[in-house]
Chain A
Amino acid sequence: MSVSVQEADFDVGAEITALSAGRAEVGAVASFVGLVRNAGHGNAVAAMTLEHYPGMTESALAEIVVEAQGRWPLQGVRVIHRYGRLLPGERIVFVGVASAHRGAAFAACEFIMDYLKTRAPFWKLEETPEGAHWVDARESDDAAASRWEESWEAIDQRR
């Protein structure tokens, strides 16, 4: 398990390869890459600046990964989140998950992204022709994260 919060870009291919390197028990690697869009909420976006809370951001991401490892049998997890000023098309976030089977890999990857969106302290400032503005949190992100809480309860009930 490895978490990085960094300004630098990352190599998606190398990260995916590393998740299964030397681990013959890995049968599935699922990954997600988040990119800066050129439009948000009807505005043209010229650039986006990501602010974070050094220290807490890393520990919040690590905690999300530990929670994922408690829910699914995972052989490897890699999370990279960038900060600083990024242009449309640039990569923001990478989540890669290795497991024996695809079900766990897909689910854990989506779970980590959903929790990251609502629990990791990052904030986006969008630059548009009308000026810079902070992106508002979306209720749909809270809803996406909370569906995992429901399923966690369902898991508990089955125990």
Chain B
Amino acid sequence: MTELNILYFASLREALGCSGERLSLPEGVSTLGALREHLAARGEGWAALAAGRNVRAAVNQRMAGFDAPVAPGDEVAFFPPVTGG
């Protein structure tokens, strides 16, 4: 697998108008934070991912900080802070 599988949940999914996508790892992107920045730069609704917005993330279904590495084949998810229970 050479692509990332990216998932979006809850209010973030609604703001982006998309529940997920497959994406070739953009050149120069090797961390979750860099990927987030790359996506936010698409403009319009994607600003919901911009720095300063309250966004959490997971890599391969584990909560991860934005300094976490991302590699082709990873499942990455972006979502708002959780509100279960």
A102 close to chain B: CB less than 8 A: no
> Which residue from B7, B62, B63, B84 sits with its C-beta under 8 Å from A122?
B84
A115: nearest chain-B partner, CB-CB: B85
Q: Is the CB–CB distance between B84 and A52 below 8 Å?
A: yes
B1 close to chain A: CB less than 8 A: no
Number of interface residues of B (CB under 8 A): 18
CA distance A124 to B84 in the complex (A): 7
The interface bits of chain B over 64-79 (1 if a CB of A lies within 8 angstroms of the residue's CB, else 0) are 0000000000000101
B62 contacts across to A, CB distance below 8 A: 56, 59
B61 contacts across to A, CB distance below 8 A: 53, 55-56, 59
Chain A contact patch, size range:
20 to 34
A51 contacts across to B, CB distance below 8 A: 9-10
B58 contacts across to A, CB distance below 8 A: 53, 56, 121
Taking Cβ atoms with an 8 Å cutoff, the residues of B that contact A are 7, 9-11, 14, 54, 58, 61-63, 77, 79-85
Number of A-B contacts (CB under 8 A): 74
CA distance A70 to B77 in the complex (A): 28
Q: Is the CB–CB distance between A137 and B82 below 8 Å?
A: yes
B63 contacts across to A, CB distance below 8 A: 60, 119
CA distance A29 to B69 in the complex (A): 42
Q: Taking each of B61, B62, B83, which has the highest tally of chain A beta carbons within 10 Å of its own beta carbon?
A: B83
Q: Is the CB–CB distance between B84 and A56 below 8 Å?
A: no
B56: nearest chain-A partner, CB-CB: A121
Chain B min CB distance to A123 (Å) = 4
Q: Is the CB–CB distance between A120 and B9 below 8 Å?
A: no
Chain B min CB distance to A83 (Å) = 9
